[in-house]
Every structure is written in structure tokens, then in C-alpha cells.
Chains A and B, each alone.
Chain A
């Protein structure tokens, strides 16, 4: 069974440009999460989808970040325009259902460098 896959694995863009990160969750997982770790900081929650709906987007840093999950399958996280402080690794994760104690599986991350 395929795990959570993320694309691209690495991206280098200039300040002011746009980057779109994609996440394919494990098949059948309704819950999809985005996390990130910026330089020197801890891994932080960004948002949580249940199917195509945003369950919790309390961690989104500002309106330069837009997450979508059309059709409840894969998700994209767009950063527009990118700033230097957005550099870091963006993790996507997924879990199966709404019962407590269910395991959340993480992808390998998309490493973003803004120069």
C-alpha cells in the first residue's frame, strides 16, 4: 500500500514567486493534514481537511497560504507570494477516520527554499 506522497520533494524559488505543493494521502483516508517546520522551529500544524472540507485551519500563518482539496482526494498548498521566512519543510499527513486514537501517517515532506 502506498504511503502519503508529496510533490515536489524539493523546490527553490525566488521571493515573490508562487509555489504549489501537492499531497496524495493514503487511499481511503478522509483526513488530510498539513504541517510545516521552518528553520530552527518545531513542526507546526497548518490545517486539517475532512474529505474536501476544512475542519481546522487555525494554523495557517496568513492569507498568502491557500490549501485546497477538491473532490476529497489529493490536496494542494499554494504559497503566493512566497517570502523568505516560508523556507522550510512542509509535511502532509493523513488518517483513516474520525475515531480517536487513529494513527496519522506522514509523508516525506516538500522542502521549500525561498531565495
Chain B
């Protein structure tokens, strides 16, 4: 299972775009990249998932370069409610392998 490296913390202001980059140099061919968001006293919440190139949903965008050794979560126009810990996870999961490896995550603080 590939390990990930991401910044421990980031600060931003309301209305700004926030990009959080995650390194996963040992990603395997069958691995997917998934980002979760976690608020205090809650469980991790799925944000976005991708395998390569770019994925966009109503919440965020995920950019994955061709070598897949990193990925960038992009949150457009953040608000105070986006203050949370964001986890980047890499693995073959959702069935045959559910052993997700959570790192320390990135604590995003959005200020007014």
C-alpha cells in the first residue's frame, strides 16, 4: 500500500482557491487516489476520487499528472466551513482491500 506525504497544515482566506498537494511516489498501477475531509467529532467524508488526469465534481477538482506520483486537491473559493482536515489516500479499495492508510492529513484553516 502506497504511503502519502502532504503538508501538515495550510492557511487560507475566504473566497480563495486552495490547492493541497499529496505525494505518493510508490503508487501502484491499480491504485486509486481518494481525498477525504474530516471535521472535528465526525467521520471522514468522501470528497473526490481519481485514477489519472483530472476529475471534477461539485465540491472539488483533483489533478493527477501522468506519472501519478502526486495529486492536487483543488477547492475553489473556500469558505469558513471548509476548515477541516483533508486526507489523501492511495490504494486499491472498495472491496477486495479495505486497508486504507490514513496519514496525518492536512489541517486547513480558512480565515475570514
Contacts of A80 in B (CB 8 A): none
Q: How many A residues touch the partner, as a band?
A: 20 to 34
Give the chain B neighbours of A50 by CB distance below 8 A: 95
How far is B98's CA from A48's CA once the two chains are assembled, in angstroms? Answer: 6
Q: Is B46 an interface residue (CB 8 A)?
A: yes
> Does B45 have its Cβ within 8 Å of any Cβ on chain A?
yes
Residues on A facing B (Cβ under 8 Å): 4, 31, 33, 35, 42-45, 48, 50, 55-56, 58-59, 91, 93, 95-109, 111
Report whether over half of chain B's contact residues are helix, strand or loop; otherwise say mixed.
loop
B42 close to A104 (CB less than 8 A): no
Given contacts A106-B44, A108-B43, contact A42 B93 (CB under 8 A): no
Interface residues of B in 56-72 (CB under 8 A from A): none
- Chain A positions within 8 Å of B103 at CB level: 42
Chain B residue at minimum C-beta to C-beta distance from A44 = B102
- Complex contact B43–A56 (CB within 8 A): no
Q: Pick from B32, B34, B41, B102: contact of A42, CB below 8 A.
A: B102
Checking B30, B43, B46, B101 against A103 with a beta-carbon cut-off of 8 angstroms, the contacting residue is B46
